């Protein structure tokens, strides 16, 4: 009997050790959206959708393996759910003091361009005297299969974070700092082709208990802003508002706490260079954590499009999300 108890104890210990370096996290959200168009000729819409993510992380010493699964269903009456797909799958380790990352991962959205995700990516990082140097490969802007290399250097100079990225068709320049409680940032994505530069300036801080953000993004006449950020979703995807070449975007956000809720007002204006073709979004977002562990969010959006009146609309998006 004692031998059996000893064997059971050893087995339990081995199981806990085997599982100690594996973690599973995830998130899920469900949305119900209704849109009422001002133009009677444009049909109103109602839809339910969901998005699920599951991240598995395994570690062995200084080496990490990440596999991220995702599922999106924009249900408009039929079954469009494609199941759980592998979105990210990469290995991160270090060799002779150089950080190595290889596989497939999302490079993230910003205010100027949408994210991209491709396999066969490689990223090498190291640091010299406070300067971080990165070499990597990523998808070419005009292709989803052709990979090109880039070099990026980043440093903190007297409290100012600066980075320069040399890409296949141009350069990315980023500068950010905080002065007197106000954070200021600048991002430029300059490209070799004529009239294809984009840039964004953002200021953020807090005044009287209200968080304030102001940003202005500009695009040259032969390129467009495709970013997905708090300023707006302009990527070429379902539910986004696609911009034309040369359109600029100006946004302001005011956020504060109110009766246990977080309340945010956003105004976004899209300038087409002519007074008769401007577009504006007004959003009111109310977020509240629930006792169940989930978060409820209601977003009311008013869209006013001077150029295309049949797009003028009011919409309400009710969202329930949870992380674990």
Burial (Cβ within 10 Å: 0-12, 13-18, ≥19) of residue 74: middle
Backbone angles phi, psi at 74, to 5 degrees: -95, 80
Residue 316 CA to its chain's centroid (Å)? 22
- Ranking 50-54, 198-202, 275-279 by mean pLDDT, the lowest is 275-279
Q: How many CA atoms lie within 13 Å of 155's alpha carbon, on the beta-carbon side?
A: 9
**Between 141 and 305, the higher pLDDT residue:** 305
Whole-angstrom distance, CA of residue 129 vs CA of residue 157: 12
Give the pair of three-digit tokens for residue 148. Answer: 């090109």
pLDDT band at 310 (very low <50, low <70, confident <90, very high): low
What is the mean predicted confidence (pLDDT) over 226-236? 90
How far are the Cα atoms of 66, 228, 266 from residue 110, in angstroms, in the given order? 23, 6, 17
C-alpha Rg value of the chain to the nearest Å = 23
81-111 pLDDT, tens digit each: 556 788 899 999 999 989 999 999 988 889 9
158-184 confidence digits (pLDDT tens): 999 999 999 888 999 999 999 999 999
3-state secondary structure 73-100: EEECCCCCCCCCEEEEEEEEEEECCEEE
Q: Find the range with the poorest average confidence among 60-74, 242-256, 299-313.
A: 299-313
Cβ-based neighbour number of residue 305 at 10 Å: 18
Topology of the domain covering 23-323? Porin (2.40.160)
* Number of Cα atoms under 13 Å in the Cβ half of residue 116: 18
Contact 105, 121 (CB under 8 A): yes
Of all residues in the chain, what percent are helix, strand and coil, respectively (each to 5)? 5, 65, 30
SS (H, E, C) 254-272: EEEEECCEEEEEEEEEEEC
**Does residue 148 surpass a pLDDT of 90?**
no
**What is the rounded CA–CA span in Å between residue 55 and residue 87?**
10
- Comparing 214 with 11, the larger pLDDT belongs to 214
pLDDT attached to residue 173: 97
pLDDT of residue 84: 76
How far apart, in whole angstroms, are the C-alpha atoms of residue 225 and residue 30? Answer: 28
Average pLDDT over residues 275-298: 90
> Could you tell me which of 178, 145, 176 has the C-alpha nearest to residue 163?
176
Task: Give the residue with greater pLDDT, 20 vs 192.
Answer: 192
Residue pair 149/141 in contact (Cβ under 8 Å)? The answer is no
Question: What global pTM score does this model have?
Answer: 0.83
The CA distance from 167 to 22, in Å, is 36
- Give the Cα separation of 230 and 100 in Å (integer): 31
What is the spatial distance between Cα 41 and Cα 46, in angstroms, rounded to a whole number? 16
pLDDT at 74: 57
Neighbours of 25 (CB within 10 A): 12
Q: Which of 134, 104, 102 is nearest to 116 (CA)?
A: 104
């Amino acid at each position: 009997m004692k031998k059996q108890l000893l064997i059971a104890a050893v087995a339990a210990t081995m199981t806990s050790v085997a599982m100690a370096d594996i973690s599973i996290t995830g998130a899920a959200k469900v949305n119900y959206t209704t849109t009422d168009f001002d133009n009677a000729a444009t049909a109103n819409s109602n839809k339910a959708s969901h998005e699920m993510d599951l991240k598995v992380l395994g570690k062995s010493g200084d080496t990490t393996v990440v596999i991220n699964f995702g599922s999106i269903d924009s249900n408009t009456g039929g079954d469009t759910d494609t199941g759980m797909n592998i979105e990210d799958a990469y290995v991160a380790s270090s060799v002779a003091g150089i950080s190595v990352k290889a596989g497939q991962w999302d490079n993230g959205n910003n205010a100027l361009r949408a994210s991209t995700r491709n396999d066969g990516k490689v990223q090498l990082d190291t640091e010299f005297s406070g300067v971080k140097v990165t070499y990597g490969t990523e998808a070419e802007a005009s292709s989803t299969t052709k990979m090109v290399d880039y070099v990026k250097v980043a440093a903190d100079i007297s409290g100012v974070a600066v980075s320069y990225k040399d890409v296949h068709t141009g350069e990315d320049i980023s500068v950010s700092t905080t002065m007197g409680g106000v954070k200021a940032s600048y991002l430029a994505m300059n490209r070799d082709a004529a009239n294809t530069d984009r840039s964004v300036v953002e200021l953020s801080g807090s005044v009287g208990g209200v968080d304030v953000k102001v940003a202005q993004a500009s695009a040259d006449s032969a390129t467009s802003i495709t970013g997905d950020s708090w300023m707006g979703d302009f990527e070429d995807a379902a539910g986004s508002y696609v911009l034309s070449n040369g359109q600029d975007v100006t946004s302001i956000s005011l956020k504060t706490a109110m009766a246990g809720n977080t309340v945010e007002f956003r105004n976004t204006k899209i300038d087409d260079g002519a007074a008769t073709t401007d577009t504006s979004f007004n959003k009111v977002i109310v977020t509240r954590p629930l006792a169940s562990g989930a978060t409820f969010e209601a977003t009311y959006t008013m869209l006013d499009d001077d150029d295309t009146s049949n797009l003028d609309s009011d919409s309400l998006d009710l969202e329930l999300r949870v992380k674990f």
